Amino acid sequence: MLELRPNCELCDKDLGPHAPDAMICSYECTYCSDCVAKILRNVCPKCGGGFEKRPMRPHKAWREEFKLGLENHPPSTRRVHNTFSSDTIEAHVKRIEHLAPKDR
Ligand SMILES: [Zn+2]
Ligand SMILES: [Zn+2]
């Protein structure tokens, strides 16, 4: 199950489970779309992969038998903070950004 992290790991903006601007990499690293576009330029600072829009989990279990939705699987409350310096991120992004995510 996808971990719905509560904040942008770079600027710390709140990203609730229905935030329209939440982006994730394949390892669930979570950033706001502003940071992805302007600072990370679609390069995850940790794994180097690209980002996609995070899907919105429904509020309730629409099929009773599966016990899904936020009422059964609430978002994480553990705020995650990127520990790389901005210089380190910029060097990492410069090394990778010219490659399309499928070619990294
Ligand atoms: Zn951000
Ligand atoms: Zn990543």
CA-CA-CA-CA torsion for 65, 70, 24, 20, nearest 10 degrees? Answer: 120
Average pLDDT for residues 81-94, to the nearest whole number? 96
- Which ligand sits nearest to residue 38's alpha carbon? 1
Confidence class for position 75, pLDDT limits 50, 70, 90: very high
The Å distance, Cα 11 to ligand 2 centre, comes to: 16
What is the pLDDT at residue 16?
97
- Which ligand sits nearest to residue 51's alpha carbon? 2
The Å distance, Cα 65 to ligand 2 centre, comes to: 33
17-73 residue pLDDT tens: 999 999 999 999 999 999 999 999 999 999 999 999 999 999 999 999 999 999 999
* CB-based neighbours (< 5 A) of ligand 2, an ion: 25, 27, 29, 44, 46-47
- Dump the DSSP string for 4-22: --SB-TTT--B--TT-TTE
pTM comes to 0.94
Amino acid in position 7: N
Burial class (CB in 10 A: 0-12, 13-18, 19+), 25: buried
